[in-house]
Amino acid sequence: MAGFKTHISFSTTLGIGYACGAYAFFDMPWTSCVIAGGLCSVSGMLPDLDSGSGRPIRESMGFAAAVIPMMCLEWFEAVDMPRELMIVSAVGLYLLIRFGLASAITKYTVHRGMFHSVPAAVLAALVVLLLSGGQHTRVDIRLFKAGGVLIGYVSHLMLDELWSLEWRYGLLRRKKSFGTAMKLWGKSLWGNLSVYGKLAAAAMLVGNDTTLLPPSTPARSTTRQSAAPDSGGPDSRPSGDMHREQVEPRQPMADHSPRNFR
């Protein structure tokens, strides 16, 4: 199994390449590139949250507790939350993540459980997609940040699978841990139901998030609008069957035949 330094070094390298590539070829804002690269780097530690204790869970929970409240600021503003209430909510989120969530993960997870799985990686990306902005944030930027999380998370799973192979007596052999990282389901029924239930809920929230939909454009009118009646131009008069010109009655012409001069 790859160590902490190997995981964080690999995911950080991927994050730097991911951010630089998006800035150079896709014109992403440099601030968004820094955030996406940082998320990719930290996500390389997320699967090891089920290790029980140690540096991965300490570093990951500290980073999540500091970043997630800031990512929620735009949602706080969308509901017109007062500034003081924003501060109280941010502090509450920090304490909940730093101590409550970390304690629950340590108590209810097992190492190489469903945290080491592809559904868990997709779930982490969907959570970041939901939290990374609201109606004032571009959809491609939100997808860009979520993609950074997915890449960093999957990089950890790939390294664990590679470290499950070894050369012995000139042959490539598989260790007992092979297949326990890059998996779709685990041995625990409760773990499978828990992860897939959270994944379904997150997917439903993403599907109902109207801020992820493209803005609707009004349909063009096919009827021509007439000009103002006082414009004085030739098109100032209304056209169509509703317009009828008022024709002055003709005056009778005088009869100049010779019979009138008798």
pLDDT at 196 over 90: yes
Structural domain includes residue 187? yes
Q: Please write the tens of the pLDDT for every residue from 151-171.
A: 999 999 999 888 887 777 777
- Specify if 140 maps to a domain: yes
Domain that holds residue 86: 4-167+175-212
Q: Is residue 149 included in any domain, yes or no? A: yes
In this structure, is residue 252 part of a structural domain? no
More confident position, 237 or 141: 141
Give the pLDDT of residue 15: 96
Q: Please check whether residue 249 lies inside any domain of the structure.
A: no
Averaged pLDDT of the chain: 80
Could you tell me if 158 and 116 are in contact, meaning their C-beta atoms sit under 8 angstroms apart?
Answer: no
Q: Please tell me whether the overall predicted TM-score, pTM, comes out greater than 0.85 for this model.
A: no
Give, as one character, the DSSP assignment of residue 96: I
The string of pLDDT tens digits covering residues 211-257 is: 777 655 544 544 444 444 454 554 545 544 444 445 555 555 555 55
**For residue 119, what pLDDT band results from cuts at 50, 70 and 90?**
very high
User: What pLDDT was estimated at residue 227?
Assistant: 45
**Residue 220 maps to a domain:** no
Residue 217 falls inside a structural domain: no
Helix-, strand-, coil-residue percentages of the chain, each rounded to 5:
60, 5, 40
- Residue 210, by phi and psi: left (phi above 0), alpha (psi -120 to 50) or beta? alpha
What was the pLDDT predicted at 180?
Answer: 76
**Listed residue (144, 146, 104) closest to 126, CA to CA:** 146
Cβ–Cβ contacts within 10 Å for residue 34, how many? 13
Instruction: Give whole-number Cα distances, 244 to 87, 230, 237, 238, in Å.
Output: 69, 18, 10, 9
Look at residue 233 and tell me if it is in a domain: no
Tokens 């019979």 belong to residue: 259
How many domains does one find in the chain? 1
